[in-house]
Structures are given as structure tokens and as C-alpha cells.
């Protein structure tokens, strides 16, 4: 299996001699399972003058990153929607699919580390917010009728349980090491298990969505919403009875205590010994 990269190309809180913000490209490898050692993952960083911000410069930077890595990734994830055209064009020119995604956990952590330890040390640093433009997100969509789960239940595992995830029989899925979320083996990780006779097609459909995280939405009743891609979201379940509502609230509280980490699994029934799909997820605040 090849690698997946995460990419950010945006201005930084550093001014050049002309008082213009310096840009930077960051590329890092996604951790794809719980055994991954994050310090062994590929990383590439390069500053870009504001006068050279274009897809051609980014294409050249990507080519240099590929040369350093020794091989290209299967695809590149990016979370900044306002950079969609430039990033997509540069990736196409080096023959790598680009995917808008909020599943950029390694990149988020690296950006935070650089904001605290690297940028303040640079000449021209200005202490100010450098948030990306917030864009409106569409309303959650209904799941396709043929893919709705027959039943769903809230479950809990511990951080230690995921140490053997690589040995589980999973058709579709992805995970990351607990160290990335700063969680211990004793941490309680909440999750949702979807049971459906159409478990495999449901998991296959979900695998193409760039799963980001699950959240409890109480703006219109009580419902579980699955966030995917850069902006998309799907209504996983409408919850109406008191007991499931209480369990959903407990799930959300446990997720916050676990630094946003949670999971979603898909099985044919409770007796199944394999998973049609299993994803370890983390809700994060994107810059």
C-alpha cells in the first residue's frame, strides 16, 4: 500500500522586506494505522515569496518533495477550500489526485507546532491571527436510502484495544496512532457501530467520502451527523427516544474528554467477527 500526503499552501505570520506576508508549503505523510511512528513520517517544508504564489511554483515544490521522498503518494489531502483550484491544478500537473479533506491530523499538529516554535523565531514575524477564510457549509444531506443502516449502537473501547487493530479483519478503514492525539492506553474512546445487512456496500460508499468526524447536532432535534470531505455532511441518524438521546449526549461528552477521538464501525450484525468498515476519527479545530 502506498502513502497518502497532507498539504497546506498558505500565508504565514511572517513579513518580508516589502512588508508582504511570506507563504509556505507544508507536505507530510498521513499516519494510516495505529502502529505508525509519527517521527518516521515524511515531511517537507518550503517558504514561498508572495510574488511567486501560483500553481507553477507549487508544482515545482511538489516535484522536489517527491524527489526527497523517493516515490509519489497515492493522493494528496488538503483542507483549505479557498486554495482548491491552485492545489488541484498543481497536483494534476504532477499526476497525483488531490482530495479536499478534513482528515489532515498530522498536518494540523505540525502547523500548531510551527506556529508556536518556528514562526516566532523568523525575522519579520508578527504576532497576529492567521486564520483561513471561513466559508459557509451546506446543510447535512440524507444518506442514500439503500445505504441507511438497519441499526446503530453506541460502544466504547480503550486506547489499548487499538494496539491490535492491524490484526482485525476490516474491508475498508483507516486509523492513526494514539500518540498523535496524546491519549494513553487507558483512555476511553467512544464510538458508533452501524449494523446493516448491506454492510459492505455501505462501508465501501463511506470509504470514498474522506471521513472527518461524527458530531451530535441538536439544532433541529437530535441527530448524529457524519462530516466528510471539506464541507459535506450526512445525517447518520435522527434520534427521538429519551434513552438514545442520553447515550448520544454521553458519546459527545466522552469524545471531548478523549481529545475529539472516536470511531465508527460497520458490521452486518452483532455476531459478525469482522468489520465491513472501521475508521478511527478525531474532531479538530482547523486553522
Average pLDDT value for residue range 118-132: 81
Average pLDDT value for residue range 5-12: 97
CA-closest candidate to residue 6, choices 212, 258, 227? 212
Give the model confidence (pLDDT) of 104-121 as tens digits: 999 999 999 999 999 999
Position of cell 508578527? Answer: 126
**Residue 56 belongs to some domain of the structure:** yes
pTM for the whole structure = 0.92
Together in a domain, 9 and 62 = yes
pLDDT at 129 over 90: no
**Residue 169 belongs to some domain of the structure:** yes
Quick check: 202 and 211 in contact, CB under 8 A?
A: no
**Residue 127 belongs to some domain of the structure:** no
Q: Give the count of domains, the chain.
A: 2
Together in a domain, 236 and 275 = yes
- Measured between alpha carbons, how far is residue 233 from residues 49, 93, 215 in Å? 36, 30, 10
Together in a domain, 153 and 273 = yes
Domain end position, chosen among 121, 152, 167 = 121
How much is the pLDDT for 144?
79
Give the model confidence (pLDDT) of 134-155 as tens digits: 556 778 998 877 667 678 899 9
Domain that holds residue 212: 141-282
3-state SS of the chain is CCCEEEEEEEEEEEECCCCCEEEEEEEEECCCCCCCCHHHCCEEEEEECHHHCCHHHHHHHHHHHHHHHCCCCCEEEECCHHHHHHHHHHHHHCCCCEEECCCCHHHHHHHHHHHHHCHHHCCCECCCCCCCCCCCCCCCEECCHHHCCCEEEEEEEEHHHHHHHHHCCEEEEECCCHHHHCCCCCCEEEEEEEECCCHHHHHHHHHCCCEEEEEEECCCCEEEEEEECCCEEEEEEEECCHHHHHHHHHHHHHHHHCCCEEEEEEECCCCCCCEEEEEEEECCCCC
Q: What residues contact residue 62 under an 8 Å CB cut-off, 6+ apart?
A: 25, 27, 76, 90, 91, 94, 96
Amino acid at each position: 500500500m502506498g502513502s497518502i500526503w497532507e498539504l497546506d499552501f498558505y500565508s504565514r505570520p511572517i513579513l518580508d522586506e516589502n512588508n508582504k506576508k511570506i507563504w509556505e508549503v507544508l507536505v507530510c505523510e498521513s499516519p494510516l494505522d495505529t502502529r505508525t511512528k509519527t517521527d518516521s513520517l515524511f515531511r517537507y517544508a518550503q517558504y514561498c515569496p508572495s510574488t511567486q504564489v501560483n500553481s507553477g511554483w507549487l508544482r515545482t515544490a511538489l516535484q522536489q518533495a517527491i524527489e526527497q521522498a523517493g516515490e509519489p503518494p497515492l493522493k494528496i489531502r488538503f483542507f483549505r477550500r479557498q486554495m482548491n483550484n491552485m492545489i488541484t491544478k498543481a497536483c494534476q500537473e504532477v499526476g497525483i489526485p488531490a482530495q479536499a479533506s478534513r482528515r489532515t491530523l498530522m498536518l494540523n499538529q505540525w502547523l500548531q507546532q510551527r506556529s508556536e516554535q518556528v514562526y516566532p523565531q523568523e525575522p519579520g514575524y508578527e504576532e497576529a491571527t492567521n486564520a483561513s477564510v471561513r466559508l459557509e457549509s451546506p446543510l447535512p444531506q440524507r444518506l442514500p436510502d439503500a445505504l441507511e443502516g438497519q441499526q446503530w449502537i453506541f460502544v466504547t473501547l480503550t486506547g489499548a484495544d487499538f494496539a491490535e487493530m492491524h490484526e482485525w479483519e476490516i474491508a475498508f478503514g483507516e486509523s492513526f496512532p494514539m500518540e498523535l492525539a496524546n491519549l494513553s492506553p487507558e483512555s476511553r474512546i467512544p464510538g458508533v457501530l452501524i449494523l446493516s445487512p448491506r454492510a459492505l456496500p455501505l462501508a465501501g460508499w463511506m470509504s470514498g467520502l474522506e471521513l472527518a468526524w461524527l458530531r451530535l447536532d441538536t439544532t433541529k432535534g437530535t441527530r448524529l451527523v457524519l462530516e466528510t470531505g471539506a464541507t459535506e455532511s450526512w445525517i447518520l441518524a435522527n434520534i427521538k427516544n429519551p434513552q438514545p438521546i442520553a447515550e448520544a449526549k454521553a458519546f459527545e461528552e466522552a469524545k471531548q474528554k478523549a481529545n475529539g477521538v472516536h470511531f465508527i464501525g460497520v458490521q452486518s450484525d452483532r455476531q459478525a467477527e469482522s468489520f465491513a468498515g472501521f475508521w478511527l476519527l478525531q474532531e479538530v479545530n482547523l486553522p
